[in-house]
């Protein structure tokens, strides 16, 4: 009888520990890979939007099958169209300043964004991109689909290792 009571108590404790452990893991948030600064009213501090890979994957995605001047052969990139991202968060801006981990920065006029270009790619050939492989985020165009995307201006806007964005009004 004592053994049965002991085993029942032990089972209850084990089930409780498993439940607590699963709850803790479910509540954990993935690391932030993109921070967007959005200006507030006239002199207000910017509002920060922080996004994890999971957050980006929750938004509508698009896939390009294209070649690039930085990779060998055709590649498959999946990501969120930049226009979809800024519309999702209600970001109003004239320009977007995008910065990479190494502080490389570009300015992208919002008026030049389209529904399908550029994308903020988070996946290359079906796998998340690592920092050493130009990830985790890379701004890309479907270079093979449109000759307008094969210019020095567009190539210079194809920023890899993107980690910061600022809306400029």
Domain positions in the chain: 1-29, 31-168
pLDDT given for residue 46 in this prediction: 78
| Burial label, 95 (beta-carbon count in 10 A; 0-12, 13-18, 19+) | middle
Reported in sequence order, the residue ranges of the chain that DSSP labels E, i.e. its strands, are 32-38, 47-52, 62-66, 75-81, 95-100, 105-109, 119-124, 127-128, 138-140, 162-168
Task: Give the residue ranges of DSSP H helices in the chain.
Answer: 2-27, 53-57, 82-88, 152-157
Closest CA relative to residue 160, chosen from 93, 58, 75: 75
pLDDT given for residue 3 in this prediction: 46
pLDDT given for residue 9 in this prediction: 45
pLDDT given for residue 43 in this prediction: 64
pLDDT given for residue 62 in this prediction: 98
User: Looking at domain 31-168, which of 3.40.390.10, 3.90.420.10, 1.20.1070.10, 1.10.730.10 is its CATH number?
Assistant: 3.90.420.10
pLDDT tens digits for range 59-83: 999 999 999 999 999 999 999 999 9
- Sequence-distant (6+) residues with CB within 8 A of 143 are 66, 67, 68, 69, 149, 150, 154
DSSP annotation of 28 reads: -
The tens place of each residue's pLDDT in the chain, 169 residues long, gives 554 444 444 444 444 443 334 333 445 668 999 999 998 766 667 789 999 999 999 999 999 999 999 999 999 999 999 999 999 999 999 999 999 999 999 999 999 999 999 999 999 999 999 999 999 999 999 999 999 999 999 999 999 999 999 999 8
∠ CA 99-104-105, nearest 5°, is 50
Beta bridge partners of 36: 49, 165
Q: How far is CA 30 from CA 56, 87, 121, in A?
A: 11, 23, 17
pLDDT given for residue 53 in this prediction: 95
pLDDT given for residue 72 in this prediction: 96
pLDDT given for residue 80 in this prediction: 98
Beta bridge partners of 165: 36, 98
Query: How many CA atoms within 13 Å lie on the side-chain side of 61?
Result: 16
CB 142 within 8 A of CB 70: no
pLDDT given for residue 111 in this prediction: 97
pLDDT given for residue 1 in this prediction: 52
């Amino acid at each position: 009888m004592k053994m049965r009571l002991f085993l029942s108590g032990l089972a209850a404790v084990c089930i409780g520990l498993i439940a607590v452990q699963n709850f803790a893991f479910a509540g954990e948030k993935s690391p932030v890979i993109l921070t967007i600064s959005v200006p507030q009213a006239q002199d207000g501090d910017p509002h920060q939007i922080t996004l994890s890979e999971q957050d980006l994957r929750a938004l509508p995605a698009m896939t390009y099958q294209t070649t690039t001047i930085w990779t060998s052969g055709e590649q498959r990139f999946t990501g969120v169209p930049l226009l979809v991202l800024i519309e999702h968060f209600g970001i109003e801006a004239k320009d977007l300043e995008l910065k990479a981990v190494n502080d490389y920065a570009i300015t992208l006029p919002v008026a030049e964004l389209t529904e399908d270009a550029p994308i903020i790619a988070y996946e290359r050939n079906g796998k998340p991109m690592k920092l050493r492989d130009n990830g985790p985020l890379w701004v890309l165009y479907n270079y093979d689909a449109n000759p307008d995307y094969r210019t020095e201006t567009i190539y210079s806007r194809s920023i890899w290792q993107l980690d910061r964005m600022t809306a400029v009004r």
